[in-house]
Amino acid sequence: MKKTLVTLVLAGSIFFSGCSLITLETNPKTSEPEETVATVESSAETSSAETTKETEKTTETTAAETSATVSETTAAETTAPSETTVSEQPKTLGKVVVLATGGTIAGVGDAGKSAGYKPGTLTAEDLIGAIPELADVAEIEAVQVCNVNSDDITDTVWIELANKINELSKDPEIDGFVITHGTDTMEETAYFLNLTVKTDKPVVITGSMRPSTSISADGPMNLYESVCVAASRDAVGKGVLVVFSDLIFSARTVTKTSTYDVMAISARETGACGVVRDGAVYFYEQSVKRHTTDTEFDVSSISSLPKVSVVYFSVDMDPEILKYAAEHSDGIVIAGAGAGEFSEGYIEVIKDLKIPVVISSRIGDGIIIPANLLVEGTIAADNLPPQKAAVLLRLALTKTKDAGKIQDMFFEY
Ligand code: ASP
């Protein structure tokens, strides 16, 4: 076979096919008129951290030998010279599915401004297209799940996400998943998925604090680093992770701790479990709680979750609110003061409630154990904040209404 010399230069542009599957196309660098276009197909064998970045590598090769599929030209047709320079993607890139749900990372507003924007505006394909460097990390498939402010995420979206990941994870070609999400409720979605996805493959959630149109938007770097983690073998089996501002967090402990800071996502007293630097992934800790393949929760055949209301306590709050919440809920989470405490008025109402009541704290750090409980038969939230205690209680109620069994779940998960 006649040897062909083709120079393939990653153009940095991204073309989208009809069903959201994105392939990265390369342009020829041949000087004269031919229009060689190469579609780079990559296999799903290794992680990004293991992948050697190749740039403009000169290789003498034949069309059959190269991993790039060269279309619209043949050796005979091309006017390229008989010696060829090939810059091809490594054959070893994995495949990561990016599921977009909206949030500030997809937000658009006044140029340069950080506030007053419209979240959930850019699509999954827009987000991916803004980061040509992803071509060095993984083949990306984009899926638009919804495009909302994360305060409008619902149990329907959670169940859809879990079931989609569970279905896609059976595909051996897919190495991991990234979900783009608003930061307000990111921790709740992360914890829900941590308890309901049935795969060891990495599932990473990310977002941003600044919209795409602000100065120094943080979304592209957060998404890039998330794909690096999702493509990393080191992330396999670690449960659902959140990647934000170079740090990796476990879904169970991650929480939002600032209304504006680009480092608004943290895990308070338990800390991050790893870091990402220039695409390389470093883990130092991992969650010891049951997660993903090791949970009893199954959302494959349900379309909604039991209703749980979180009721805050503050000085002089009217305990009648508790009665109203209980009438409209299958379970209650109290965001108590200190170690889950509240007034005598709250105690009297809670004593008579006939639905499971979980006691958490409005503080944000620290644990609540059964010895702290003011009302017998209530359930201690361990160190889960109220919003995450609500996630676990909703899932627990799909299994049992027994307070003792639910208490066990709060220590296991
Ligand atoms: N309100 C936005 C959201 O949660 C905030 C963000 O994404 O940072 O969707």
Q: Are residues 287 and 315 in the same domain?
A: no
Q: Which domain holds residue 349?
A: 308-412
Indicate whether 147 belongs to any domain. Answer: yes
Q: Is residue 201 within 8 Å of residue 175, measured between CB atoms?
A: yes
Tell which atom from ligand 1 comes closest to the C-alpha of 264: 8
What does the pLDDT read at residue 171?
98
Residue at a domain's end among 268, 294, 320: 294
Ligand 1 pocket at CB < 6 A: 103-104, 119, 149-151, 182-184, 207, 209
Indicate whether 182 belongs to any domain. Answer: yes
3-state secondary structure of 171: coil
Q: How many domains does the chain have?
A: 3
Indicate whether 192 belongs to any domain. Answer: yes
Cα angle 5, 8, 12; round to 5 = 175
Q: Are residues 259 and 321 in the same domain?
A: no
Tell which atom from ligand 1 comes closest to the C-alpha of 102: 9
Phi, psi of 227 (to 5 degrees): -65, -40
What does the pLDDT read at residue 46?
36
Q: From CA 72, how far away is CA 37, in angstroms rounded?
A: 7
Q: Are residues 285 and 315 in the same domain?
A: no
Residue at a domain's end among 240, 271, 294: 294
What does the pLDDT read at residue 92?
65
Q: From CA 97, how far away is CA 138, in angstroms rounded?
A: 9
- pTM given for the model: 0.80
Ligand 1 pocket test: pick from 122, 146, 150 the residue with the most ligand atoms within 8 Å of its Cβ.
Answer: 150
Ligand 1 pocket test: pick from 183, 186, 210, 259 the residue with the most ligand atoms within 8 Å of its Cβ.
Answer: 183
What does the pLDDT read at residue 398?
98
Q: Are residues 281 and 329 in the same domain?
A: no
Q: From CA 291, how far away is CA 183, in angstroms rounded?
A: 22
Indicate whether 3 belongs to any domain. Answer: no
Measured in residues, the chain has a length of 413
Residue at a domain's end among 294, 324, 347: 294
Tokens of 269: 């007293």
Cα angle 390, 198, 98; round to 5 = 85
Indicate whether 161 belongs to any domain. Answer: yes
Q: Consecutive sets of 10 residues in the chain, 413 residues long: mean pLDDT of each?
A: 30 30 34 31 36 36 32 34 42 88 98 96 98 97 98 98 98 98 98 98 98 98 98 98 98 98 96 98 97 98 98 98 98 98 98 98 96 98 98 98 98 98
Beta bridge partners of 26: 10, 38
Cα angle 69, 74, 78; round to 5 = 120
What does the pLDDT read at residue 246?
98
Rg (CA), the chain: 25
Distance (Å) from CA 319 to ligand 1 centroid: 31
Q: From CA 318, how far away is CA 76, in angstroms rounded?
A: 84
Q: Are residues 266 and 327 in the same domain?
A: no
Distance (Å) from CA 214 to ligand 1 centroid: 14
Indicate whether 350 belongs to any domain. Answer: yes
Q: Which residue has its alpha carbon closest to ligand 1 atom 7? A: 182
What does the pLDDT read at residue 2?
33
Q: Are residues 39 and 98 in the same domain?
A: no
Q: Are residues 205 and 252 in the same domain?
A: yes
Active site residue 104: yes
Phi, psi of 147 (to 5 degrees): -145, 80
Tokens of 88: 């091809």
Indicate whether 145 belongs to any domain. Answer: yes
